[in-house]
Copies of this chain bind each other. A is one copy, B any other.
Amino acid sequence: MAKKKPALKVIPLGGLDGIGKNMTAVEYGNDMLLIDAGLMFPDDDQPGIDLVLPDYTYVLENEHKLKGILITHGHEDHTGALPYLLQDLRNRVPIYASRMTLGMIKGKLEEHHLTEQPVVEVQGGEHIDLGALGVDFFAMTHSIPGALGLYIQSPQGTLLHTGDFKLDQTPIDGVVPDYHALNRFGAEGVDLLLSDSTNATRPGFTGSEASVGASLRHIIKNAPGRVFVACFSSHIHRLQQVCDAAVAVGRKVVVTGRSMVTNTKVARELGYLNIPADDIIDAFDVDDVPDDKIVVLCTGSQGEPLSALARMANGEHRSLSIGPDDTVIISATPVPGNEKSVQNIVNALARIGCTVFDKSNALVHVSGHGSQEELKLMLAMVRPKFFAPVHGEAVHLRAHAKLAISMGIEPDHIFVLDNGDTLEMRDHKVKIGQPVESGVVYVDGMRVSDADPVVLRDRQKLSNDGIVTCVVTVNARTHKALEVDVSARGVSFADDGDVINGAQDAVRATVDRASEKAGWTVDASRRAVRNSLSNYLWQATHTKPMIVPVVMEV
């Protein structure tokens, strides 16, 4: 009797910008599996935060059910929370992922001394059972090799999770999306589809990765000097195309930037990146090779100020420099929020006078996510009964929902979820379930702290207005001021003796006046100091810095 079985629950966790992008729990009775364990990078309005993790309290509370962690592909937003999660779990449940994905994870685990962690390599076409849940992995194409989608079977019905995907008929490694599997699952009956919405507002079909190759070859072949190519270091197919173009025209490849060095090493070891050892040279040997025999693969396509490209553009790289006869290819699009940083690098390169190719003037980048026609094709093949767009901001999820409606899926069979919402499947029917605790946690130094709005608000206030500290020692008997010390940081009047002295005088007068009142307390005196200082500074400078008053009886 279906009624007596527990529901199949789908629980997207965390994710400021993409429901279910970083982590999704799938649970049936006492069996739970986790899809991905990724992180986010902080926004401008989260100053000083190093990383943002999904809040996986729910996973820890239900650890006894956890049977496995499935990682769809090796990008940070799908793998980056693993070290934190694994340290918080008491038991070592296995990680299931493709060879490439495990290669990307391995370094992370070693760095965090998690070498005992069991990992299981899987590939498209494989099936595993985790308790009452069955999982079929199938090949998908994305901007990193070894991307897998998941088809999950439970006693209440099935769900298909695309992972991040595009539909590329000519991927560089020849591993096309497994359309046969998708159509077979569709024919068997997919009750719920969770599908990548990143490009749901973009019409048409995303171009094949192969289409970038011709353009890269053309530029590299005709460049008079050195060619520098900046792209995501995990975009192994892009790197392969750059290496192929370099080797074809007799140029040596130099690799620079920490993650670029690491990832090319891993990808070469695993056989995902193929370039003869002779064709790779060290950055310090570059001066022995003529400029027109060099291609530099570098980090910095997002304008990161400390990246190899930024250092080279600003003349601060320890071994490589860019000259006016050189060519720079920015083989990426800025992630929202990075536009200005990338533009800063483009301007620095313009000052050098080198030739710059980017998305605006050459076909040097295509997205790793499918556009509207690919999303519709996915829906047409999978033919889900219920649909939840995932991986995307509010605008993308809703655009994806509209695509589904245009293909005949009933609006009430479509779920546009929010953080902490859950879906429950019973007898092949899906509905919204009880919400769970969700959200994000911040990594700041060593700490994993709750999303503490006070700390962030304080930091923004400090950053906008600066801080003034006022220390007053008062006579313990008379409560009159002995010494007053005002110091200021991050304010324009920090070194202005008139303002600082004026502030000290104002505070001293206030403290002395307050000392004569009945019922004197340190707290009351501190409040008086704060008010007096705040008023004085507003009058004198029209600024409102944060004020830290300290009153000490001596």
Contact = CB atoms under 8 A, between A and B. Distances in A.
Interface string A447-462: 1010010110011111
A259 to B, nearest CB: 22
Interface stretch (A115-123, A228-236, A489-497, A508-516): A489-497
A interface, over-half SS: mixed
Nearest to A351: B394
Interface residues on A, range: 35 or more
Interface stretch (A99-107, A267-275, A426-434, A545-553): A545-553
B458 A394 contact: no
A201 interface: yes
Given A444-B492, A546-B489, A554 B473 contact: yes
Contacts of A461: 490
A43 interface: yes
A398 interface: yes
B446 A550 contact: no
Nearest to A489: B458
Interface string A171-201: 0000000000000000000000000000001
A395 B44 contact: no
B343 A393 contact: yes
A275 to B, nearest CB: 32
11 contacts: A47-B464, A48-B465, A339-B339, A350-B393, A350-B395, A350-B397, A452-B492, A458-B466, A462-B462, A473-B552, A485-B552
Return the 3 tightest CB-CB contacts between A and B, nearest first.
A463-B463, A446-B542, A445-B543
Interface of A: 43-44, 47-48, 201, 336-337, 339-340, 343, 346-351, 353, 356, 360-361, 393-395, 397-399, 442, 444-447, 449, 452, 454-455, 458-467, 469, 471, 473, 482-483, 485, 487, 489-494, 541-543, 546, 548, 550, 552, 554
Given A445-B542, A458-B466, 8 more contacts: A47-B463, A48-B465, A337-B339, A350-B399, A351-B394, A454-B494, A455-B494, A461-B490
